[in-house]
Amino acid sequence: AFDVLVVGGGPAGAAAAVYAARKGIRTGVAAERFGGQVLDTMAIENFISVPYTEGPKLAAALEQHVHEYDVDVMNLQRATALVPATEPGGLIEVRLAGADGKPGASLKSRSVILSTGARWRQMGVPGEDEYRNKGVAYCPHCDGPLFKGKRVAVIGGGNSGVEAAIDLAGIVRHVTLIEFDGRLRADEVLQRKLRSLPNVDVIVSAQTTEVIGDGKRVAGLLYKDRDSGQLHRLELEGVFVQIGLLPNTEWLKGTVELSPRGEIVVDDRGQTSVPGVFAAGDATTVPYKQIVIAMGAGSTAALSAFDHLIRTSVP
Ligand code: FAD
């Protein structure tokens, strides 16, 4: 059995594994895809002390750093269930998916760190996948400055969409916020701020139907006016999709306390509702989903797991 088993191999999981292994305890990482969202990222300009890197390069560096230590890395393994210990200080079980729908292996550990991350909800329209990282973006904190002086659209009029539009309006030339519904759903104070900005247009009752490009980069957007049924075209260089971030926690429902959005509820030490089970990164209720934040949270969770281990007697 492991002392610490990390589930998820993104920035949070990698940091947790390094911090745990440095305590000289038996550490394992099971990850569906080691590297996580970082693998899908191109330019990264806010990883402090590294002015510019690219996702695949950072993901390789994460893996290399973890391999500096005696960590059992189990890549391409998807966890399907968590079974809490039956007695205080007992072993926690993580079940893995098997091949062809058959039940897979099961791993046991004295503590577990959940760091399964999240995924952005996609619009599912033509052009979105094709121009991902070529004008289609999901994270204004990450990619906003790449659109300095350009025209962008923000899709989604909830709090995250309106916050993104306000943030981007300070960087880019022009923002068009597009909302499917007849009205914005963001907090009134955010809407007021948005409407006070001179370089923002808001379009409601609009359904984005296609992202248009020139083969290399985004060149515009097609949307349908849901009242008249008419199609319109916007000329722009960027599209920020802000219609939800979905935590990868479906497999934990009913075992670990989740927020209404499905995020794992953690305290400031990364402790979840289950004894000996900690969590970190985008899968949790931590505010702001960023690489450096996930790494900090992963480190916190590992130190908390170690603290838990030295306080519970070895069964
Ligand atoms: P993730 O990176 O999502 O990793 C989750 C891990 O868990 C993966 O290994 C995954 O395979 C695994 N996993 C999921 N489910 C299971 C399961 N059931 N069993 C086993 N393993 C599982 N942030 C920045 O700071 N700067 C940027 O420039 C930036 N750009 C971004 C660009 C894009 C396109 C995207 C999508 C995100 C970007 N982000 C950026 C956000 C950043 O990538 C995330 O905040 C960060 O990766 C979160 O780390 P994490 O470890 O919590 O989760």
pTM above 0.95, yes or no: no
The whole-number pLDDT of residue 314 equals 58
- 52 in Cβ contact with 30 (< 8 Å): no
- Give yes or no for residue 147 CB within 6 A of ligand 1: no
CA–CA separation, 10 vs 315, rounded Å?
Answer: 31
Q: What is the pLDDT of residues 288-310, one digit of tens each?
A: 999 999 999 999 999 999 999 99
Centre of ligand 1 from the C-alpha of residue 304, in Å? 22
Q: What is the pLDDT of residues 97-111, one digit of tens each?
A: 988 878 889 999 999
The whole-number pLDDT of residue 63 equals 97
The whole-number pLDDT of residue 101 equals 75
DSSP string computed for 287-305? SS--HHHHHHHHHHHHHHH
Q: What is the pLDDT of residues 29-40, one digit of tens each?
A: 999 999 999 998
Q: How much of the chain, in percent, has pLDDT values that exceed 70? A: 99
**Average pLDDT of the residues in 229-248:** 97
**Average pLDDT of the residues in 138-143:** 93
Centre of ligand 1 from the C-alpha of residue 86, in Å? 31
**Average pLDDT of the residues in 237-247:** 97
Nearest CA to ligand 1 atom 36: 37
**Average pLDDT of the residues in 58-63:** 98
Nearest CA to ligand 1 atom 52: 281
Q: Is residue 121 over pLDDT 60?
A: yes
Nearest CA to ligand 1 atom 39: 290
- Give yes or no for residue 242 CB within 6 A of ligand 1: no
Find the helix packing angle between 188-195 and 159-169, rounded to 10°: 30
What are the b/e assignments for 77-116, b being 16+ CB within 10 Å?
bbbeebebbeeebebbbbbbbeeeeeeeeebebbbbbbbb
- Give yes or no for residue 78 CB within 6 A of ligand 1: yes
**Average pLDDT of the residues in 186-211:** 98
- Give yes or no for residue 115 CB within 6 A of ligand 1: yes
Centre of ligand 1 from the C-alpha of residue 11, in Å? 7
Q: Is residue 141 over pLDDT 60?
A: yes
Q: Which of 122, 112, 121 shows the shortest CA–CA distance to 252?
A: 112
Q: Is residue 80 over pLDDT 60?
A: yes
- Three-state DSSP class for residue 10: coil
The whole-number pLDDT of residue 215 equals 96
Q: How much of the chain, in percent, has pLDDT values that exceed 90? A: 95
What is the CA angle 311-292-21, rounded to 5? 40
- Give yes or no for residue 270 CB within 6 A of ligand 1: no
- 280 in Cβ contact with 115 (< 8 Å): yes
Complex confidence, ipTM: 0.99
Q: Is residue 86 over pLDDT 70?
A: yes
Residue 75 pLDDT class (50, 70, 90 cuts): very high
Find the helix packing angle between 11-21 and 291-311, rounded to 10°: 40
Residue 46 pLDDT class (50, 70, 90 cuts): very high
What residue has token string 């400031």? Answer: 268
What is the CA angle 216-222-226, rounded to 5? 160
| 189 exposure class (CB count in 10 Å sphere: 0-12, 13-18, 19+) | exposed
The whole-number pLDDT of residue 182 equals 97
Mutate to test the pocket of ligand 1, among 116, 128, 246 (most ligand atoms within 8 A of CB): 116
